Amino acid sequence: MGRWGRSQARFLSFFLPAAIFLIVLVIYPIVATLTLSFVAPDGSYAGLQNYGSVLGSPDTFNPACLQRGPPCGTLMNNLIWIGIHLPLTVFMGLFLAVLLQNVRGASFVKSLIFLGMVTPLIVVGVVLRFVLEYPIGVVPAFFGWLGIKSLDVNWLVTPNTLLLGLIFGTVWSWTGFSMIVYSAGLTTIPKDYFEAARVDGASEWQIFRKITWPLLRPVTLVIVTMTLLWELKLFDIVIGATNSQGGVGGAADVLALQMYRYFSNINYSSAAVVATLLTIFTLIVAVGLFRKLLGLPLRKKGRRTAPSVPQVETKPAKAAGDEGQGAVEGIS
């Protein structure tokens, strides 16, 4: 075996185990799930019938909730979760990171806040069950003390409050993640920028708006993407808080829990449809992140023309005799 053959053998010895692992545990399940989503329960080809059945089900999207309120369906619940949870966790994490940036003992405070992130979400769900339950829960007792009777109820069995209670409960558990990542991002900004801005008379708000926030945009992109991916695959916290039911009438039901319920009822085709939709949503978010990080546009634009070369005004070079004369004059 020549040198080239030994090099190929060494390459294959590293490549093949990883390739087999990827094919068996990643690619094959994706292809099998995608294929199963087009198969009817009797094994025949169903086309897009399974997708129409799942997307047209009130369990996925319930248009009546736009008029009478929850339950709204799993897809709407995921979107509501993203619309409320995402901005709250991002801006609260940023606020805490900036607030604790130069505070003595900040590491201890950050560790306490980060405890919610390292706590298993199934445990967070069980804790929220006791926090929201009437009459022992802290939340209904607090609103009862304030005299707000409409919120002095059992949040776990009230469709209008259950989803919001779970969302605000997970804000506590996820804020620690964005705070830690923002804190790491703040350490990469040179302090000279802040000192120069203060010397120029800039206020703290101007420093944040003109220096801190623009330089933290890549960090913000990572936090937003990671939070979105987590919000798309919500499962364990809803399981822990609602005992696998998604609340009364599915008020807090989410896509991953719907997939689990389809699978438990031996409706594998519908479960594969939901899994495929979640995979597509995840790929869209992931591809958008990588294109942003690489500086690529999210969509193709029209054909660009070559930028014009700026005209630089140059002075005529001096003649050799002039240079020599100048040198002589300088010496003399």
How confident is the model over 234-276, as pLDDT tens digits? 888 888 888 767 777 778 888 988 898 888 888 889 999 999 9
Q: What is the reported pLDDT for 5?
A: 66
What residue type is assigned to position 55 of the chain? L
Q: What is the largest CA-CA distance in the chain?
A: 106
* 17 inside domain: no
**Residue 23 belongs to some domain of the structure:** no
- Indicate whether 38 belongs to any domain: no
CB within 8 Å of 173: residues ≥ 6 apart:
116, 117, 119, 121, 124, 237
Task: Answer whether residue 26 is part of any domain.
Answer: no
Tokens of 40: 């009817």
Residue 225 in this model has a pLDDT that exceeds 90: no
Other Cβ atoms closer than 10 A to 298 = 8
Integer Cα distance of 41 and 161 in angstroms = 37
* pTM, 2 dp: 0.76
Instruction: Report CA-CA distances (Å) from 220 to 30, 70, 210.
Output: 30, 32, 15
Amino acid at 16: L
Mean pLDDT in the chain? 81
**pLDDT at residue 124 in the model:** 86
What local confidence, expressed as pLDDT, does residue 1 receive?
54
Q: What's the CATH number where 278 sits?
A: 1.10.3720.10
Q: Indicate the number of domains in the chain.
A: 1
Residue 194: domain span: 71-293
Decide if 298 is inside a domain. no
Query: What value does the mean pLDDT take over residues 155-182?
Result: 87
Residue with tokens 């014009």: 308
Q: What is the mean pLDDT of residues 268-286?
A: 89
Asked, for residue 118, whether it belongs to a domain, the answer is yes
- Whether 257 maps to a domain, the answer reads yes
User: Coil, helix or strand for 39?
Assistant: strand
Contacts of 218 (CB under 8 A, 6+ apart): 185, 293
Q: What is the pLDDT of residue 302?
A: 52
Q: Helix 255-264 and helix 268-293: axis angle, to 10°?
A: 150
pLDDT confidence of residue 321: 44
Distance, in Å, from the CA atom of 326 to the CA atom of 332, rounded to the nearest integer, reads 10
Give the pLDDT confidence score for residue 168 in this predicted structure. Answer: 87
Measured distance CA(256)–CA(237) in Å, rounded: 11
Task: Write down the residue that tokens 């620690």 correspond to.
Answer: 176
Output the pLDDT for position 28: 92
CA distances from 6 to 10, 18, 201 (A): 6, 19, 66
Is it the case that residue 211 has pLDDT exceeding 70?
yes
| Phi, psi values for residue 186, rounded to 5° | -65, -30
93-131 pLDDT, tens digit each: 999 999 988 888 888 888 888 888 888 888 888 888 888
Cα–Cα dist 118/113, whole Å: 10
CA 176/CA 117 separation, integer angstroms: 6
Distance CA 94, CA 222 (A): 13
Place of tokens 């292809």: 31
Asked, for residue 22, whether it belongs to a domain, the answer is: no
Tell me if the bond preceding 120 is cis, omega within 30° of 0: no
